[in-house]
Each structure stands twice: as structure tokens, then as C-alpha cells.
Structure 1
Amino acid sequence: MGPGRGPMGRGGPRAMMRGEKAKNFKATMKQLMGYLKDHLPTFIAVWIIALISTAFMILGPRIMGMITDELAAGFLRQAAGTGGIDFVRIGRIILICAGLYAFSAFCQYIQGYVMSGVSNKISYKLRDDINLKIHRLPFRFFDGTTHGEVLSRITNDVDTVNQTLNQGLTQIISSIASVIGIVIMMFTISWQLTLVALCVIPLFFLSIAWIIRSSQGYFKDQQRYLGNVNGHIEEMFSSHTVVKAFSGEADSIRTFDEYNNALYHSAWRANFLSGLLMPINMLISNIAYVIIVILGSLLAVRGGISIGGIQAFIQYVHSFNQPITQIANISNILQQTAAAAERVFEFLAEEEEIPDSIQPVSVEGSRGQVWFDHVAFGYNPETLVIRDLDALIEPGQKIAIVGPTGAGKTTIVKLLMRFYDVSSGAIRIDGKDIRSFKRDELRSLFGMVLQDTWLFSGTIADNIRYGKPGASDEDVEEAARAAQVDHFVHTWPDGYKMVLNEETANISQGQKQLLTIARAVLANPKILILDEATSSVDTRTELLIQKAMDNLMTGRTSFVIAHRLSTIRNADLILVIRDGDIVEQGTHSDLINRSGFYAELYNSQFEAGE
């Protein structure tokens, strides 16, 4: 409680940068302890090292006081003519003191080194569990959760837990040991001065409690607005082309300014209040420091305490606020850590996909017959997207699914792939309910080309090979030729070794679509799904794709979803979807002759000449 600052004094306000509390502190910490139990022997060893380091550090001021007493005694002997200063003894004491501090520093180094390794291993395990969890979550979760929220739990929340494990756990032991050890040493010097010093502790804790309580709400707001700012920046950056194309810069800047201003005001208030911690504590400490110096001088004059004792006591008082501040901050840090850990555990506790059948049916020998057996489905149980879908598709047929936007065309694909399970009815492949297959084996039957292309930063060959990781270069090139990719790949200097950049912006949208089709060709599936596969290409490229698709779909059950009805005129069967029901089905010529809903859709696109 002196005028100086210890390490924690500098870190105090920063340590209270976030004040969000966990909803269930005890349960969360108990769950976190489950990750710590495998490293319990290491934690015990580190705590023992922390206790030894703290004990040696506490002995330092008392030994330095002995040096002062020896100097004072030497001056008195010189004045009395009975001797002088014993520099040999002082030298030995200095060496002992230096040894104590050096060993304490060494223990702190070992403690930090070991804890850094342990905390990073636990963080690694948490991130690994989150990564595995992501692949077990149903699509419904991602439909209702932003990517930024998931990334925040993997990065920010795990980092918060990591920092606490790295510093907080050993700090708890060393801080408590420091407080107890310092009080004991102070009592050995002067019980009167110690009682005066202890009277200041309630004021110290009251000031800390007031600051934490006052700033906590602002810190919560700060984290929320920080998330808004990060989310907005991520969204705008990933959609920068669209923002530019539609002149949305002004709206984007306006939204950012709103979030940024809210973040600024909440952060300013939070940091201002937390910044009061040190000045208030310094004021209290300095008042106590002055009182102790006055009382200590009076005791020294009366012979109640030695000069070295006063020096040692003042040093203990000077460092007394450090462990107290640490203890106060630890309670807040633990709340913050529990809040972060709780978010991680909430994610890990999310409901997973319905487990595969205990005795799954094999997909071997599948012919590709698909039967929608009175299927009903809704993303929201109260609102059905598909009401009563009933259709039988024979192996090798090319099925076109058409209808207005929102009719449920893409939903049918998601149900086929079992990204979602039907609400009622069943989807059967070769007469077997798809819920009786293992998901990975079921999906191995399908080749899928989506409207939104997905490519990654890597070579052209690697992107095509994603459909079949073990495929040879010859297989990749054969698939590329079938998908009309080979001819334009050879126009690039590096050919199939050309590396796509991070945003795959160094090739056109049509070329991206062709590469995803080549990927599906390489996978050689039993059932093919093309969801608006030609929506992003020009007419010439569309003709090339159509020719490739006709060859590819030979002998395969194929589902084609398209707004361009010209691409599905040769389909074996066209299913016309409207409001979740099949309102018409038949060949192109049959449906045109009926002059029904399909004819209306077709003529609205081709009334000019087709």
C-alpha cells in the first residue's frame, strides 16, 4: 500500500477489461475442471513451485532489513570507538538475499514455462472438440447461427480460457500465499503497525467492488458492440463486390459508424471507471503509508522497532496491495473465464444430428431408384415447406424439378442428402428408407453441383480431386474433359497446377461452376443433383455444360433444378412444384400440351421465340 506499483498494479485495470458473468458459474467451472484433471499432477507441481517462489520473495525485505540494522550498528560502533561496519557479514547477507531473489525468479520462469504448455494443450483440446462438434451439428444449427458467432467461440472464448489457465490458476495460489506470508512477516516486526495496515483492507476492497460493479455493464456492452463491429466488417469485406456493385458504401459506412460510436462510448465509460482503480487504491495506500511512517518513527524513537525493521515493514506495506489487487481481479477474471467457457460448453452441448441407425443398411448394389413417399417437411414445424410430395423415380431417369422461387425445390435436395430429416413420410432409395443408411455412405451415392460454387485456395487439380481424394492425375484430366474444363485449363500457363487465390477471384464465375461439375464427374456417383448448375454461365458455356451433362447423366438417376427451362426439355420426367406440392408431372411436350402451370412458366420465359 505504498506509493509504488507492483506488476499487478500495472495489470489491474487491464485484467478487468471484460465483466460478463456466467449464467451458471459452478457448473461451468466444474465442467472446465474435467479438462484439467488429466494435468492435475502438473498443476500440483506448479503450485508447489509457486509457493516456494512466493516464500523466497517474501523473505527478501526482512533480510534487506538485516543489512540496514547491521549498517546502523556499525555506525554506532564507530561512534563509540568500539569497532566498525562488518562488511563481510553484510556481503554474506547480500549474497543470501540475491540468491533468494534469483531462485524465486527461476521458480517463476519454470512455473510460466510449464503452465504455458499445459494451458495450450487444454486450448488445443477445446478447439479440437469444437472442430469435431461442427461436423456433428445439424444444418438447422448453422441456419440459425452466424459464422462469426461460431468463429468467436473457437478464437476469442478459447483464448480467454487459455489466458486464465496460463496466469490465473498459479496467481491464485501465489496471491493468497503472499497475503498470508506478508501479514505473518509484518506481525513478526510490529503487531501495532500491522493492525493499522490491516484496517485499510476493507476500504481497499470496497473501492474495488464499487468499480467492478459500476463498470461491469459497460464492459458487457463493449463486448456486444465489438461483436457487432467485427460481424459488420466481416460481412462487408466478404461481400465487397456486391456492396460496390449496388453502391452500398454509404449505408455500410453509416451502419459501421453507428456500431463504432456505440462501441466507443461503452468502451470509454468502461475504461474510465476501471482506470479509477489504481488512483483510488494509490490514494488509500498513500494515506496508510503516511500513518505507518509516523507511527513507525515514534516506535523507533522509543526503541520499539529497529531501523531495519521499519525499512522491511515499509517494503511489506509497499507490496501488500499487489496480492490483494490480484485476488480482487482474479474473482472478476474467473467470472470472465466462466462466461467464455460457458459459451464454449454451450456450443459443445448443442443438439447433434440424429445418430445413424445402429444396424445400418449397406448402399452396395444400389441402382438409384428414388421414391418420395408422401413426404412432408418444414424448417419450422409450424410452417410446412413441403406438404405431400409423392413421386417414384426409376434408375437412370433424368428428373427435372421446376417451380417458382420458394416452392421447395432446393429443400427437396437437402432432404435427399439427409441434411434435414423429413417431418413425415419417407424418402426411399431402392425401397429402403434413407434414415436406415449411414449418412456418409448415403451421401457417397450422390454427386452434387450447387448454384453457389465452393472452391478453396489450391491448385485446379486439387479442387477437382476434392470429389475423390485418391484420384490420379489422369482421372482428374478425364473428368475435366467430360465437364468441358480441359480446354480452358490448358490456356493457363500452369495448367492444372495453377493455384486459385484465397477468394478464387482469378477465374470467372462460369469457370468456377465448370470446375465443380468436374468434381462431381470425378466422384462418379449413382445419383446426380444439379441445383441451378448453369445459372451463372453464359449461353455458349451453358451449351457446353448441357452436352457434358447429357453424357454424364447417362445411366444415372439425375435431379436437375433449373430456372432456365430450356435446359430440361429432354428430361424423362418433370416435376412441377408449387407451394410444396407436385401440381403437375410429365414430359416437356406433355406439360406444354396441357397448357397448365408449367406451360405458363415456360411461355413466360420463351414467349419471344421458343
Structure 2
Amino acid sequence: MKKTGLKKDVQKDTLKKVLRYIKKYRSLMLISILLAVIIVALTLYVPILIGKAIDGIAYSQIQFDYILKQLMIVAIIVSITAIAQWFMNMINNKVTYQVVRDMRDEAFKKIEILPLKYIDTHSQGDIVSRVIADVDQFADGLLMGFTQLFTGVITILGTLLFMLTINVSITFVVVLVTPLSLFVASFIAKKTYTMFKLQSETRGEQTAFIDEMIGNEKVVKAYGHEEEAIKKFDEINDRLAKYSLRATFFSSLTNPTTRFVNSVVYAGVAITGAFAVLNGKMTVGAWSCFLSYANQYTKPFNEISGVVTELQNALACAARIFELIEEEAQAPESPQAVTLENANGNVSCKNVSFSYVPEKKLIENFNIQIKPGQKVAIVGPTGCGKTTLINLLMRFYDVNQGSIQVDDKDIREMTRRSLRLNYGMVLQETWLKKGTIKENIIMGKPDATDEEITAAAQAAHAHSFIKRLPKGYDTVIEEDGGMLSQGQKQLLCITRVMLTEPPMLILDEATSSIDTRTEIKIQSAFNRLMEGKTSFIVAHRLSTIQNADVILVMKEGKIIEQGNHNELLGKKGFYYQLYNSQFAV
């Protein structure tokens, strides 16, 4: 019982959140409801006119003029109803897709301000599935709800009023059987929500798996992992098919069961109405009108039952979207946060402690003082905290204890944007967006001139390969560089930094994907770029950092050795062992 109550609370809470989005468009919703009332009123008036026309035939002499008049009025009403229906559908579509746009907009904005911890610990495919597939499913359910729920409820109330004006006792027969439809719809709705929620979650898992496999297809093929990947996909796919089948099974029960109830209602009206006609309490036209009302009264129950089922799916998807939207954002900027401009490059870490997981310590009591313009190399074995230190310097993560300062100011007291604009970063993993070569280069400096772009590309030794591309700097590349080699992609990332010329640099194995000959040229270009700039160089190949002013040797989150290349070799400590292990014959 507890679980059912919790599920109801989640649905109720989700519905409230959806209504908050719709509230913004309440004026359009009021017009839609007004049109629904007009449509239902006119639709319900038609049977009365047809009943009158039938009475014009059924008794004594056939009144052709009278019948023709009634049919002309019917034709006019039907035309008005069709136009009103078209306008109502247009408005409902507009509201639905405006709400969907707002939700996607808010979800994407939240992704942009989520802490990297969330992105690092959640499947990218699942996040994509929430923003794309779940929002689409929600839109389908919401659109059906707007279109059918309003007219359905108003039709039920309207037909009851019209039937009461014709015959109270027969109306009572109709109302007596109605609760059966509501009971069936309620029972099915409870079952379908759970199945639709599982379906949505599994669809997200499947999207994540496909995204992972496509992104790593070369690795899959290289290690002969195809069969295992197919087995894993089949398992997820079978699970999705099972949940989808169950959801469809329960939702498909709605129509036949409510139709059965409707047939019972119709039969009851037909029989009681026939006796009323025989006893002279009702005309044939009125009976015909009543049968039409009975049919119109029961029809919305079919539609509403279908809407309820779709709404279960929509609410299940909406709940997943709201989970993303309501995730805790990164720590907000301090109201007193200052803008860092043209940093001198004086960087210090004071008693810094940090761990991704509380129970697994990584960096503890880390202290360092870097003077402006120094080249600082960070070396050590895998997992020692090199990349973590870069994450902390850039404020991708905030320290747990202690402080990191730039120009004697705690970086938590500066805006993240201004801090990061003062760093130029080239990572081992390249990132390029879909667009032209030029658009990728000017990402950090949108107002750069063509001369500045060309100069930066020449300094990074990228100009020659760019000019060989079909349209040079205007060549469009796909996401992640498309058919460019890994080395060419890295050169574009280096060009991006060369263009911005920031006061501080972070180079994380920036030349790892470049051939030796080009690497020598790039190192020369980097040396020119690093002149007068504070530079942090994460290195695995120790031959590339021999000219660093300071080499920090890290192990298990601590600096165990510090000095320049010759000093550290002279100590014959851990650095000495690392260096010799790379050049051992």
C-alpha cells in the first residue's frame, strides 16, 4: 500500500509541475476550452434538429419545407463546428509544443550548469533520451489530453443536461451504468503507469548503450567484442519489448472494456426508449435524438480512457525530465564574486584536500606556490591526481578543504567564466563541434579577424593541412572532427589556444597524437606561446618537459618531489626511476 501511495504522490507532484508550465499559456487554454464548449453545444444541438426532421416524416403528411429547413440548419452548424474544431486543434498544438519547447530549453540550460560530477556519473545516452525521446512521448500524451479531455468532459456534462430535458427516467438508466467505465479506466491507469515508467527508463538505457557502442566502435571491433555487444543489446532490447508489450496490453484493454460498457448503456436506452414510444411518452424523433445522445455520452468515456492511458505514459516521461531539471546545479557564484581580468599567473594551492567519493581519499594537504611565468610540469603514475589537479585549477570541481588562489584571490570568489577565460587548455582528448574549421578555431575569440586566425594556425602548424581541405577554413566538419586524423584534430585545438593567447596555460599531453617531426615544431611554438605565461604541463613522456622551471612529482595525491629536471635526476628518487624506465633498453 505504501508503494502505491508513493506512486500516486509522484504522479500528483508531476502533474502539478506540468500545470505550472501550462499556466504560462492560460489565455490560449481558456480560448481552447471556450471553443470546446461551442463545439460540444453545436454537436449536441444537431440530434435535436435531426429528431425534428424525423418527426416531420413520421406523422401525417411529410413536411418537405420543414425538413429541408432543419437539414440546412444542420449543414450550417456542422460547418461552424468543423471550423471551431480546426481552431481548437491549432491552439492545442501551439500550447503543447510551446510547453515542450520550454521544458527542453530548461533541461538544456540545466545541463549547462550541472556540476561535472553529475555528467561524469550519469550515462550521456540516458541524458539525451530524457531531453529528446521522453519529451516527445510527453508531447504526444499532452496533445491527446488537450484535444480529447476538454471536449470529452464537456460532452458528458452537455449530453446529460440535454437528456434530462427529454426524459429523466431514461437518463437515470444511463447514469447508473456510467461508474463501470470510470472503474475500468482507473484500474487500467494504475497498471499502465508502472509499465510506461519502466519502458521509459529502459529506452534511456538502450539509447545510452547504443551511444556508447557507436562512440567506441573501433575498440569493439579491435577486441572482437561484437558478439558480447550484440548479446547485451539483445538483453536490453528484450527487456524493452517486454515492458512495452505489457504497457500496450494494459492500455489496449481500455477500448474494448469501455466499448462493452457503452454497448450496455446504448442497449438500456434503446429498450427503455422503445417502451416509452409504445406508451406514448416519447416521439420517435425524441427517441432517435436520445439514442444519439446516449452514443455521444458514452463515446467520450472511450476517448478519456485512452487519454488516461496516454497520460500515464506522458507523466512517467515527464517525471524523468523533471528529475533532470530539478537536479542540484553547481554551487552558485558568490554575490561578491569578482571578474578576473588579465591574470598575472600567480597560482597557489594551500592545504588543498579533495576526493570524488568521500570514502576514497585522493588529494590531501596539497601545497604549492607557482610564480608568474613559470612552466610547471606535473608527472606521476596513473591515478596519482594529475588530471584531478587540472579539474580543480579550472574549477570544474571545487576543493573539499583548503583553497586555490590566483593572484592572491581564492578562485571561489571569482566568476567561473572569467577564471576559465584566463586559461588556455589543450587536452589529450580533442573536442570539435559540427561546423566550419573557422568556427571551431574562433570558439574562444568570436571576433577574431581572418589574419589572426591564419597567424594562429601557422603558429600551430595547422595552416598547411587546412588549406588542403576542399574549402579551406570554410570546410564543414562533423561532430568530433569527422574524417580528420587525430593529429589534425589536436592541431585545431592547439590553434584555438594560440588564437586566444591567455595568461595561463594547461597542456594535458597536448602533443600525444602528433607525429614526432610535427611535435618538435609544436613544442617550439608552445615555447613561444608560454613565454611570460604561467603554464601547467601534464606529461607522460618526460622528454617533453626537461626545460620546465618546476617539475612536480605526484604520487597518491601528494607532491613527493619537486625541482627542475637536473635537480630531480640528481636526487635519484621516484622521478629518477620514472625517467630511466622510459629510456631503459
**TM-score bracket relative to the smaller structure:** over 0.9
What residue number does 2:3 align with? none
Q: Aligned to 2:528, which of 535, 551, 554? A: 551
- How much has 1:338 moved relative to structure 2? 4.1
Map 1:271-350; keep pairs closer than 5 Å: 271-350=248-327
Q: Secondary structure at the match of 2:352?
A: strand
* Alpha-carbon spacing, 1:542–1:72, altered in 2? closer, same or farther (3 Å): same
How many correspondences in the alignment?
580
Map 1:4-403; keep pairs closer than 5 Å: 23-73=9-59, 77=60, 84-169=61-146, 171-403=148-380
Q: Aligned to 1:431, which of 408, 411, 425? A: 408
Deviates more, 1:193-202 or 1:441-450: 193-202
* Alpha-carbon spacing, 1:214–1:488, altered in 2? closer, same or farther (3 Å): closer
What residue number does 2:551 align with? 574
Q: Distance in 2 between matches of 1:114 and 1:291?
A: 38
Q: Distance in 2 between matches of 1:266 and 1:241?
A: 32
Q: Secondary structure at the match of 1:235?
A: helix
- How much has 1:445 moved relative to structure 2? 0.9
Q: Aligned to 1:593, which of 553, 567, 570? A: 570
Query: Aligned AA for 2:554?
Result: I
The yes-or-no answer on 1:500 pairing with 2:477 is yes
Deviates more, 1:398-407 or 1:354-363: 354-363
Q: Aligned to 1:452, which of 408, 429, 432? A: 429
The yes-or-no answer on 1:406 pairing with 2:383 is yes
Q: Distance in 1 between matches of 2:461 and 2:185?
A: 70
Q: Distance in 2 between matches of 1:91 and 1:36?
A: 45
Where does structure 1 differ by over 6 angstroms across 4 or more consecutive aligned residues?
A: none
Deviates more, 1:236-245 or 1:90-99: 236-245
Map 1:523-538; keep pairs closer than 5 Å: 523-538=500-515
* Alpha-carbon spacing, 1:224–1:179, altered in 2? closer, same or farther (3 Å): same
Q: Distance in 2 between matches of 1:511 and 1:397?
A: 29
- How much has 1:533 moved relative to structure 2? 1.1
Q: Distance in 2 between matches of 1:272 and 1:342?
A: 22
Q: Distance in 2 between matches of 1:401 and 1:223?
A: 45
- How much has 1:90 moved relative to structure 2? 0.5
1:498-556 deviation per Cα after TM superposition (whole angstroms, max 9, x unaligned)? 22134422210011111101101111010110012122223223222222212221211
Q: Distance in 2 between matches of 1:558 and 1:68?
A: 93
Q: Distance in 2 between matches of 1:290 and 1:181?
A: 21
Query: Aligned AA for 2:270?
Result: V
Deviates more, 1:172-181 or 1:202-211: 202-211
Query: Aligned AA for 1:50?
Result: A
Query: Aligned AA for 2:568?
Result: L
Q: Aligned to 1:462, which of 439, 451, 467? A: 439
- How much has 1:27 moved relative to structure 2? 4.0
Deviates more, 1:477-486 or 1:282-291: 282-291
Q: Distance in 1 between matches of 2:510 and 2:543?
A: 13
* Alpha-carbon spacing, 1:317–1:331, altered in 2? closer, same or farther (3 Å): same
* Alpha-carbon spacing, 1:478–1:241, altered in 2? closer, same or farther (3 Å): same
- How much has 1:161 moved relative to structure 2? 4.5
What residue number does 1:422 align with? 399
Q: Distance in 1 between matches of 2:100 and 2:8?
A: 19
Query: Any conservation in 1 of the 2:200–2:316 contact (CA below 8 Å)?
Result: no
Query: Any conservation in 1 of the 2:129–2:207 contact (CA below 8 Å)?
Result: no
Q: Distance in 1 between matches of 2:257 and 2:321?
A: 36
Task: Report 1 or 2 for greater relative contact order, CA contacts < 8 Å, sequence distance ≥ 6.
Answer: 1
Query: Any conservation in 2 of the 1:510–1:541 contact (CA below 8 Å)?
Result: no
Q: Distance in 2 between matches of 1:162 and 1:72?
A: 49
1:269-298 deviation per Cα after TM superposition (whole angstroms, max 9, x unaligned)? 332232232222333333443343333333
Q: What are the ranges of 5 or more consecutive residues in structure 1 without an aligned counterpart? A: 1-19, 78-83
* Alpha-carbon spacing, 1:490–1:22, altered in 2? closer, same or farther (3 Å): farther
Q: What are the ranges of 5 or more consecutive residues in structure 2 without an aligned counterpart? A: 1-5
Q: Aligned to 1:512, which of 479, 483, 489? A: 489
* Alpha-carbon spacing, 1:450–1:94, altered in 2? closer, same or farther (3 Å): same
Query: Aligned AA for 2:221?
Result: K
Query: Any conservation in 2 of the 1:175–1:323 contact (CA below 8 Å)?
Result: yes
* Alpha-carbon spacing, 1:32–1:211, altered in 2? closer, same or farther (3 Å): closer
Normalised to the residue count of structure 1, the TM-score between the two structures is 0.90
* Alpha-carbon spacing, 1:519–1:218, altered in 2? closer, same or farther (3 Å): same
Q: Aligned to 1:565, which of 542, 546, 549? A: 542
* Alpha-carbon spacing, 1:185–1:29, altered in 2? closer, same or farther (3 Å): same
* Alpha-carbon spacing, 1:131–1:467, altered in 2? closer, same or farther (3 Å): same
Q: Distance in 2 between matches of 1:171 and 1:424?
A: 57
1:297-324 deviation per Cα after TM superposition (whole angstroms, max 9, x unaligned)? 3332222222222222222222222222
What residue number does 1:4 align with? none
Q: Distance in 2 between matches of 1:22 and 1:442?
A: 46
Query: Any conservation in 1 of the 2:197–2:313 contact (CA below 8 Å)?
Result: no
* Alpha-carbon spacing, 1:268–1:27, altered in 2? closer, same or farther (3 Å): closer
* Alpha-carbon spacing, 1:538–1:560, altered in 2? closer, same or farther (3 Å): same
Q: Aligned to 1:603, which of 566, 575, 580? A: 580
